[in-house]
Amino acid sequence: MRRHVIWRGDEPVSTILVGRGVSSMLPELLTRRAGQRVAVLCQPSTVRLAERLANDLQGAGYEVSGYTLPDGEEAKQLGVVEDVYRFLNGARFTRDDIVIGVGGGALTDVTGFIAATYLRGVSAMYVATTLLAAVDAAIGGKTAVNVDGKNLAGVFSHPEAVIVDIDTIDALPRRHKIIGAAEAVKTGFIADTQIIEAFEADGIDTDLEDIVNRSVAVKVGVVNEDFTERGSRAILNYGHTVGHAIESTTGRPHGEAVAIGMVAAGHAAAHHLDFTGSTRQRDVLAKMGLPLTAPEAEAEAVRAMMALDKKRDSGGLRMVLLEEFGSPVLIHPNDATVRAALAGIDLA
């Protein structure tokens, strides 16, 4: 088992535990008095795990109640948040009690939002059950719900602890692993070449415990450098400028869109910075089972979406490019660089 810590100055604010079987340590992680209330929130795919954890907690003397939210993005709605507030009212929740979210990134995002706002803030913990939540969504303190657009309402609030049980991650359907692994290899490209090497050797069948630990270490390191997201956290958006436009115009899963966005960024960097790793990047993404292009995407629609993004950002369009693996830089791309990016994914 490995423990990662997020700090605000000298103060530890959140602990991430990664290992096999670590979800059974949940009762030990709660250091409160017996009789304290615990609300376990889950999604349909995690009901069984949530029930097991609830039983463990009950056995340890906690007063536990459970609530199943709708699946995926359907959970990230203010209407659902209100339903859960009412459920917590019914359970006579107080500020000393704790909410535990068991699920993927959508579930942990909304759990964090609920915990941060109910009674002006109660404690939370997450049990991250998808690879994407484990290496990305559950870490860094961003909580959110969707209001027309994705993640348009939210607050920064860290859970006390995040549990990543590798037994749960290993049991995920292959397709799930591949999509989540896009964010993991992203952390490899921007900061840890051993992640790239591991995927090059074994594709998605590599040791995911090592990948999760390395990837979490990168994200935690970036968050610790830039706790309030004033600047350097932006490197985590590698592949996301074009990726978001692909995601919203084609409906591709986030991980696939980010993979395609990283291919585009690789070509942009070859043009703009003489980056030489573009082919290596394509090869490893392909080996992992990720797409390199989106043949169904329409160049015009992708461009229009990127232009829309640009308007929302006072500094204009921004892109993270690599000088080399492990050396990301944030740039404002000119037209030629954007063209190179899109040409790299057959959209010029």
Ligand X SMILES: NC(=O)c1ccc[n+]([C@@H]2O[C@H](COP(=O)([O-])OP(=O)(O)OC[C@H]3O[C@@H](n4cnc5c(N)ncnc54)[C@H](O)[C@@H]3O)[C@@H](O)[C@H]2O)c1
Catalytic site residues? Answer: 120, 142, 183, 219, 229, 233, 237, 240, 244, 254
Q: Which is nearer to ligand X, 109 or 160 (CB)?
A: 109
For 334, counting Cβ atoms within 10 Å of its Cβ (0-12 exposed, 13-18 middle, 19+ buried), the class is exposed
Compute the least distance from the CB of residue 46 to ligand X, in Å: 5
DSSP state of 105: H
170 Cβ contact partners less than 8 Å away, ≥ 6 residues apart: 208
Nearer to ligand X, 257 or 292 (CB): 257
Q: Which is nearer to ligand X, 65 or 68 (CB)?
A: 68
Give one word for 320, left, alpha or beta, with left for phi > 0 and alpha for psi -120 to 50: beta
Q: In whole angstroms, how close is the CB of 335 to ligand X at the nearest point?
A: 29
CB of 42 to ligand X, least distance (A): 9
Length of the chain: 348
Question: In a 10 Å sphere around its CB, with 0-12 CB exposed, 13-18 middle and 19+ buried, how is residue 274 labelled?
Answer: exposed
Contact between 243 and 261 (Cβ < 8 Å): yes
d(CA 218, CA 228): 17
Q: Read off the DSSP letter of residue 152.
A: E
Rounded CA separation 136/220 (Å): 10
| Residue 77 Cβ vs ligand X, minimum distance, rounded to whole Å | 11
Q: Which is nearer to ligand X, 291 or 344 (CB)?
A: 291
Buried b (16+ CB within 10 A) or exposed e, 118-130: beeebbbbbbbbb
Residues that bind ligand X (CB under 6 A): 43, 45-46, 71-73, 76, 103-107, 109, 129-130, 132-133, 136-137, 140, 142, 150-151, 168, 172
Closest approach of Cβ 120 to ligand X, in Å? 21
Burial 258-273 (b: 16+ CB within 10 A, else e): bbbbbbbbbbbbbbbb
Q: How far is the CB of 15 from ligand X (least distance, A)?
A: 17
Token duo for residue 230: 């004033």
Which residue, 258 or 292, has its beta carbon nearer to ligand X? 258
Smaller CB separation from ligand X, 128 or 342: 128
